[in-house]
């Protein structure tokens, strides 16, 4: 196999197993106390700032970051264990998810000292939430075609005009790392002239309009910028380097356990009643797929600990993982006759409904599977 | 170079002198390849020297098996190194000389009484070719492992899709050494096939990528068409998932931890990848890949058979599913590989 796709095995980590048990204990206590109920795809829809704050108090946010920025200097393997436990339990992690997973690391890499000192400790405390401001009405997979633009005014501040869309949880969040054009499009160099801005979502001129997803939930938004003035020192990284920064950010986004565990609460519900040979076989097949994905994702976490940026394997894991998440629904339906309904008296019926209504999103968000396969094809040397 | 790299390059050098051929009832294995491997000590890798093996780690034995699988080597090395010989040693029996091929039988109905075997051992990998057979047999107090010399016995001629012998032996009071049955025998057999599947799938992907880069249609290499890229990327996803899980299961075996469920998962996952990998490899290769003239069939036919052998996906999925089913499946899953 080409070296771009191979990953060294993840060495077993005692520290990760120790924190895993702590998280399990915490979750069991929270569940017993009724502080949350299990749902499917909670990293999109389970917004609970109190829960996020509790995780922050326990040191489970910003885990890998330097202590001077509120982090805990733990390994990616330990963070992996924490995040996968939270997802498997269907815990409400959406409020902080983006900030902890990608905005914080992005700030660490490209932020100014002032930006880091100001923002990172608040993210790690579970008090400051971020959203991704990339997609636009006319720019999805072809992200380089964005039109939201920022122009410097006489004071050196940025004046932003345009619109972002599908902005998950903008209505609950504090900042959007927003990809904007800071130089007009040069068709010969489409990836030049973009920059990332740290946009405080309470800035005047920003309108956040809800967009409902299939189950009626409000997670998506349209975020409209009308002459929004962003202080000049809120540029993230380098002017004109937005494309490069966004690509690195997406690589981080792609490989985590949320790319195959979004529907795990449904698998767990199914496991609670699986008893016929057909049900056990289905559970076994799903388990084998899940375990393989988990090994891949663990290997990527270990590669991050070694300081590598395995962007191509990350794209591959996301392709295979999100396909699995959606396949879970069909596989279980083949062996049980429980109608999917959000109002079902049967928890399996409710889990099926949640998983089905969220399913189209798994293979779209964070770069569609077609785009990901293009990246894998590049890794295979085909393009 | 690590020990394993050295082992792999030695096996590759030997394989280079033995092009895979279509197996037939007249040519049921590659005896010359076996002889070369035995002479180089490679048929005893991972087995202790004091028992007559060549020493080395489990990882070395796995590397030998994987390299031979990738090269479609028609020899009973996977059975000997990863399944039968470790079982014989675990049962406290005397390991036969490692240059005499040893296989394993976990199917059929064989009874043991007073050190003699009666019944039929079925689905025997390399039946009619091997010298020794480790047989699961029913004793008065439950199943045991019996080691029997089959060099003088006739085997029925049955073969898998690739022509590898999979016949039966009728045992008619044949004397055998008998010892306790190692609990993980079936799981090890499944894991051995998973190792072979993983190596074969990786090679089929590499061949297909290479072919797509060479074959020109509409003025461009096939690899430049997005439809082909999607197929190859999907194959790569399957192959990468399989190799990661199979590796993890092997490492678990190496650490001496219980391996049954990890092997079950590895066999299920590897078996499940065969359809995508073999089907799309053939699709990309076009008609030439549908012939015995092209090398592709040596591996795709093996993959179609290996997924069925030592327990197919259904069998092992039930085992795995039964372990995972229950109130709290997650800790079971995270503790399994
Ligand atoms: C649940 C969810 C949450 C999201 N959250 C956010 C967020 O917080 N912030 C944000 O900025 N965005 C977010 N997105 C948007 C997401 O990034 C886009 O949906 C994605 O990039 C695809 O863009 P699109 O939806 O415009 O589809 P399009 O790009 O229009 O694609 C439509 C279809 O065409 C295919 N296609 C497009 N180009 C090609 C090509 N070259 N070759 C082959 N096929 C192609 C695609 O694969 C897809 O199947 C979210 C999306 C979802 C579903």
Ligand 1 atom showing the smallest separation from residue A141 Cα: 29
* CA triple A52-A54-A56, angle to 5 deg: 70
For every residue of chain B, which 3-state class applies, written as one string?
Answer: CCHHHHHHHHHHHHHHCCCCCCCECCECCCHHHHHHHHHCCHHHECCCHHHCCCECCHHHHHHHHHHHHHCCCCCCHHHHHHHHHHHHHHCCCCCCCCCCCEEEECEEEEEEECCEEEEEEECCCCCCCCCEEEEEEEECCEEEEEEEECCCCCECCCECCCCCECCCEEEEEEECEEEECCCCHHHHHHHHHHHHHHHHHHHHHHHHHHHHHHCEECCEEHHHCHHHHHHHHHHHHHHHHHHHHHHHHHHHHHCCCCCHHHHHHHHHHHHHHHHHHHHHHHHHHHHHHHCCCCCHHHHHHHHHHHCCCCCCHHHHHHHHHHHHCCCCHHHHHHCCC
Q: Which CATH number fits domain B185-334: 3.30.460.80, 1.20.120.1200, 1.20.140.10, 3.30.310.10?
A: 1.20.140.10
Candidate of A106, A166, A170, A220 to mutate for ligand 1, largest count of ligand atoms within 8 Å of Cβ: A166
Q: Is the pLDDT of residue A38 over 90?
A: yes
| Alpha-carbon dihedral A203, A209, A211, A217, rounded to 10 degrees | 70
**Inter-chain residue contact B244 with A295, CB threshold 8 Å:** yes
Among all residues of chain A, which has the CA nearest to that of B313?
A: A285
Among all residues of chain A, which has the CA nearest to that of B241?
A: A292
At the fourth CATH level, the homologous superfamily of domain A132-241 is Butyryl-CoA Dehydrogenase, subunit A, domain 2 (2.40.110.10)
DSSP class of residue A68 equals: G
Interface test with B, best of A9, A22, A25, A287 (most B CBs within 10 A): A287
**Inter-chain residue contact B325 with A271, CB threshold 8 Å:** yes
**Structure confidence at residue A308 (pLDDT):** 87
**Structure confidence at residue A194 (pLDDT):** 98
Assigned CATH topology for domain A14-129: Butyryl-Coa Dehydrogenase, subunit A; domain 1 (1.10.540)
**Inter-chain residue contact A288 with B239, CB threshold 8 Å:** no
Q: DSSP for A186-198, please give it.
A: -TTSTTSSEEEEE
How far apart are alpha carbons A197 and A231 in whole angstroms?
10
Q: Which is the catalytic residue, given A78, A84, A253, A258?
A: A253
How far apart are alpha carbons B100 and B105 in whole angstroms?
17
Least confident of A46-55, A252-261, A293-302: A252-261
Mean pLDDT confidence for B167-189: 97
Q: What distance in Å separates residue A254's CA from the closest CA in chain B?
A: 14
Q: A365 alpha carbon to ligand 1 midpoint, in Å?
A: 6
Q: DSSP for A132-151, please give it.
A: EE--BTTBSS-GGG---EEE
How far apart are alpha carbons B316 and A291 in whole angstroms?
14
CB of B181 within 8 A of CB of B136?
Answer: yes
| Residue A334 appears among annotated catalytic residues | no
Q: In chain A, where do the E strands start and end?
A: 130-133, 149-152, 158-165, 175-181, 194-200, 206-212, 218-230, 235-236
Which B positions 245-264 lie with beta carbon below 8 A of chain A? Answer: 245, 247-248, 251, 264
Give the torsion sign (CA, B270, B274, B278, B283). Answer: negative
Among all residues of chain A, which has the CA nearest to that of B206?
A: A1
**Structure confidence at residue A379 (pLDDT):** 94
Among all residues of chain A, which has the CA nearest to that of B226?
A: A374
How far apart are alpha carbons A53 and A64 in whole angstroms?
17
Among all residues of chain B, which has the CA nearest to that of A7?
A: B244
Q: A140 alpha carbon to ligand 1 midpoint, in Å?
A: 5
The residue whose C-alpha atom lies closest to atom 52 belonging to ligand 1 is: A365
**Structure confidence at residue A43 (pLDDT):** 97
Task: Spell out the CATH class of B3-180.
Answer: mainly beta
Contacts of B241 in chain A (CB under 8 A): 289, 292-293, 295-296, 320
Phi/psi of residue A109, each to 5°? -80, -40
Q: Which two tokens stand for residue B76?
A: 């009973």
CB of A320 within 8 A of CB of B235?
Answer: no
CB of B241 within 8 A of CB of A1?
Answer: no
**Inter-chain residue contact B313 with A267, CB threshold 8 Å:** no
Contacts of A274 in chain B (CB under 8 A): 321, 325
How far apart are alpha carbons A229 and A157 in whole angstroms?
7
Least CB-CB distance to A285: which of B313, B327, B337? B313
Q: What distance in Å separates residue B320's CA from the closest CA in chain A?
A: 5
Q: Does B184 contact A at CB distance below 8 Å? A: no
How far apart are alpha carbons A63 and A73 in whole angstroms?
6
How far apart are alpha carbons B38 and A217 in whole angstroms?
66
Contacts of A268 in chain B (CB under 8 A): 328-330
- Per-domain residue ranges of chain B: 3-180, 185-334
Q: What tens digit of pLDDT does each residue of A139-157 get?
A: 999 999 999 999 999 999 9
Contacts of A279 in chain B (CB under 8 A): 321, 325
**Structure confidence at residue B265 (pLDDT):** 98
How far apart are alpha carbons B38 and B48 in whole angstroms?
15
Among all residues of chain A, which has the CA nearest to that of B201?
A: A1
Q: What tens digit of pLDDT does each residue of A184-207 get?
A: 999 999 999 999 999 999 999 999
Least CB-CB distance to B317: which of A20, A281, A382? A281
Phi/psi of residue A160, each to 5°? -105, 135
Parallel, antiparallel, or unpaired for β B169-175 and A218-230?
A: unpaired
Q: What tens digit of pLDDT does each residue of A10-28 get?
A: 988 999 999 999 999 999 9
Give me chain A's average pLDDT, please. 96
**Inter-chain residue contact A280 with B269, CB threshold 8 Å:** no
Phi/psi of residue B64, each to 5°? -60, -50
Sole residue written with tokens 């967009």: A211
CB of B134 within 8 A of CB of B121?
Answer: no
Give ipTM to 2 decimals. 0.96
Contacts of A282 in chain B (CB under 8 A): 317, 321
Strand partners, A19: none
Contacts of B318 in chain A (CB under 8 A): 277, 280-281, 284
Write the CA distances from B195 to A269, A281, A298, B82, B251, integer angstroms: 32, 22, 20, 10, 12
CB pairs under 8 A between A and B: 166
CB of A165 within 8 A of CB of A210?
Answer: no
CB of B66 within 8 A of CB of B81?
Answer: no
Neighbours of A277 (CB within 10 A): 14
How far apart are alpha carbons A261 and A101 in whole angstroms?
15
**Structure confidence at residue B31 (pLDDT):** 97
Q: A29 alpha carbon to ligand 1 midpoint, in Å?
A: 38
Burial track A327-354 (b if 16+ CB lie within 10 A, e otherwise):
bbbebbeebbebebeeeeeebbbbbbbb
Interface test with A, best of B273, B329, B331 (most A CBs within 10 A): B329
Classify domain A246-379 by CATH number. Answer: 1.20.140.10
Q: What tens digit of pLDDT does each residue of A258-271 get?
A: 999 999 999 999 99
How far apart are alpha carbons A45 and A216 in whole angstroms?
11
**Inter-chain residue contact B233 with A316, CB threshold 8 Å:** yes
| Residue B72 neighbours by CB under 8 Å, 6+ apart | B20, B162, B200, B295, B298, B299, B302
| Residue A124 neighbours by CB under 8 Å, 6+ apart | A56, A61, A62, A65, A69, A70, A71, A72, A104
DSSP class of residue A9 equals: P
Nearest alpha carbon to residue A365 among A140, A147, A143: A140
**Structure confidence at residue A13 (pLDDT):** 93
Interface test with B, best of A141, A282, A382 (most B CBs within 10 A): A382
Q: Does B336 contact A at CB distance below 8 Å? A: yes
Alpha-carbon radius of gyration of chain A: 21
pTM of this prediction exceeds 0.80: yes
Neighbours of B276 (CB within 10 A): 16
**Structure confidence at residue A249 (pLDDT):** 81
In Å, the largest CA–CA distance within chain B is 73
* CA triple B106-B24-B285, angle to 5 deg: 95
Contacts of A20 in chain B (CB under 8 A): 334
Mean pLDDT confidence for A328-354: 98
**Inter-chain residue contact A275 with B325, CB threshold 8 Å:** yes
DSSP class of residue A256 equals: S
**Angle between helical axes of A49-57 and A14-32 (0-180°, round to 10):** 140
**Structure confidence at residue A298 (pLDDT):** 95
Q: Is the pLDDT of residue A4 over 80?
A: no
| Alpha-carbon dihedral A362, A30, A102, A173, rounded to 10 degrees | 90
Mean pLDDT confidence for B188-192: 98
Q: A333 alpha carbon to ligand 1 midpoint, in Å?
A: 27
**Structure confidence at residue A3 (pLDDT):** 72
Pocket residues for ligand 1 (CB within 6 Å)?
A: A 44, 131-135, 140-141, 166-168, 361, 364-365, 367-368, 370-371
Least confident of A29-33, A36-40, A252-256, A307-311: A252-256
Q: What tens digit of pLDDT does each residue of B89-133 get?
A: 999 999 999 999 999 999 989 999 999 999 999 999 999 999 999
- Find the helix or strand (DSSP H, E) in which A81 lies: helix A76-88
Residue A292: band (very low, low, confident or very high) from pLDDT cuts 50, 70, 90: very high
**Structure confidence at residue A7 (pLDDT):** 87
- Per-domain residue ranges of chain A: 14-129, 132-241, 246-379
Q: Is the pLDDT of residue A2 over 80?
A: no
Using DSSP, state whether A58 is helix, strand or coil: coil
CB of B169 within 8 A of CB of B121?
Answer: yes
Interface test with B, best of A377, A378, A381, A383 (most B CBs within 10 A): A377
Nearest alpha carbon to residue B209 among A268, A5, A259, A377: A377
Mean pLDDT confidence for B50-73: 97
**Inter-chain residue contact B329 with A296, CB threshold 8 Å:** no
Sole residue written with tokens 């890794």: A379
Nearest alpha carbon to residue B250 among B202, B199, B204, B201: B199
Parallel, antiparallel, or unpaired for β A194-200 and A235-236?
A: antiparallel
Ligand 1 atom showing the smallest separation from residue A44 Cα: 1
Q: A367 alpha carbon to ligand 1 midpoint, in Å?
A: 6
Share of chain A above pLDDT 90, in %: 92
Residue B1: band (very low, low, confident or very high) from pLDDT cuts 50, 70, 90: low
Burial of B152 (0-12, 13-18, 19+ CB in 10 A): exposed
């Amino acid at each position: 196999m080409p070296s771009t796709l191979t990953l060294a095995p993840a060495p077993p980590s005692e520290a990760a197993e120790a924190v895993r048990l702590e998280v399990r204990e915490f979750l069991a206590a929270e569940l017993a106390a009724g502080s949350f109920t299990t749902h499917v795809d909670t990293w999109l829809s389970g917004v609970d700032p109190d829960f996020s704050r509790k995780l922050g108090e326990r040191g489970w946010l910003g885990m890998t970051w330097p202590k001077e920025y509120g982090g805990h200097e733990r390994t990616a393997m330990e963070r992996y264990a924490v995040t996968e436990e939270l997802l498997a339990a269907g815990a409400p992690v959406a409020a902080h998810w983006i900030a902890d997973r990608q905005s914080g690391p992005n700030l660490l890499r490209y932020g100014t000292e002032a930006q880091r000192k100001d923002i990172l400790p608040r993210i790690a405390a579970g008090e400051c939430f971020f959203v991704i401001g990339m997609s636009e009405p006319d720019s999805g997979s072809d992200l380089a075609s964005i039109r939201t633009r920022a122009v410097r005014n006489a004071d050196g501040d940025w004046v932003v005009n345009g619109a972002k869309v599908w902005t998950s949880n903008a209505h609950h969040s504090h900042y959007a790392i927003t990809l904007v054009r800071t130089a007009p499009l040069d068709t010969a160099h489409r990836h030049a002239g973009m920059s990332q801005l740290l946009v405080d979502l309470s800035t005047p001129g920003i309108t956040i309009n809800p967009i409902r997803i299939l189950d009626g939930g409000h997670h998506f938004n349209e975020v409209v910028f009308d002459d929004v003035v962003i202080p000049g020192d809120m540029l993230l990284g380098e002017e004109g380097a937005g494309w490069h920064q966004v690509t690195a950010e997406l690589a981080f986004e792609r490989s985590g356990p949320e790319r195959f565990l979004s529907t795990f609460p449904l698998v767990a519900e199914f496991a609670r009643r699986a008893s016929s040979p057909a049900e056990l076989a289905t559970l076994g097949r799903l388990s084998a797929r899940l375990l393989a994905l988990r090994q891949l994702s663990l290997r990527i976490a270990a590669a991050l600990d070694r300081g590598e940026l395995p962007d191509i394997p990350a794209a591959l894991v996301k392709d295979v993982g999100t396909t699995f998440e959606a396949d879970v629904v069909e596989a279980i339906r083949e062996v049980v006759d429980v109608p999917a309904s959000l109002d079902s008296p049967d928890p399996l019926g409710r889990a099926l409904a949640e998983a089905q209504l969220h399913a189209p999103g798994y293979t779209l968000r964070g770069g569609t599977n077609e785009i990901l396969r293009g990246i894998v094809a590049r890794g295979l040397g085909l393009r | 170079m690590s020990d394993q790299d050295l082992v792999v390059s030695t096996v590759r050098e030997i394989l280079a002198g033995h092009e895979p051929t279509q197996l037939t009832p007249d040519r049921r294995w590659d005896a010359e390849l076996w002889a070369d491997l035995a002479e180089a000590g490679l048929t005893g890798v991972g087995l202790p020297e004091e028992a007559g093996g060549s020493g080395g780690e489990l990882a070395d034995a796995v590397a030998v098996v994987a390299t031979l699988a990738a090269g479609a080597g028609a020899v009973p090395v996977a059975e000997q190194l990863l399944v039968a010989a470790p079982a014989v040693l675990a049962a406290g029996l005397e390991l036969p000389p490692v240059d005499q091929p040893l296989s394993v039988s976990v199917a059929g109905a064989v009874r043991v009484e007073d050190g003699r075997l009666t019944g039929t051992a079925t689905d025997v990998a390399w039946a009619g070719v091997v010298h020794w057979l480790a047989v699961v047999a029913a004793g008065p107090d439950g199943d045991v492992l019996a080691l029997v010399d089959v060099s003088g016995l006739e085997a029925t001629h049955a073969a898998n899709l690739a022509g590898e012998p999979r016949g039966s032996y009728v045992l008619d009071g044949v004397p055998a050494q008998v010892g306790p049955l190692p609990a993980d025998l079936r799981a090890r057999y499944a894991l051995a096939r998973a190792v072979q599947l993983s190596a074969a799938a990786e090679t089929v992907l590499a061949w297909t990528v290479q072919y797509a880069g060479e074959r020109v249609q509409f003025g461009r290499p096939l690899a430049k068409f997005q439809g082909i890229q999607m197929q190859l990327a999907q194959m790569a996803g399957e192959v990468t998932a399989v190799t990661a899980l199979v590796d993890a299961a092997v490492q678990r075996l190496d650490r001496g931890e219980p391996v049954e469920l990890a092997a079950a998962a590895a066999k299920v996952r590897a078996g499940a990848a065969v359809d995508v990998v073999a089907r799309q490899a053939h699709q990309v290769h076009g008609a030439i890949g549908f012939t015995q003239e092209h090398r592709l069939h040596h591996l795709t036919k093996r993959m179609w058979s290996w997924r069925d052998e030592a327990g197919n996906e259904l069998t092992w999925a039930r085992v795995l599913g039964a372990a995972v089913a229950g109130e709290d499946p997650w800790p079971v899953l995270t503790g399994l590989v």
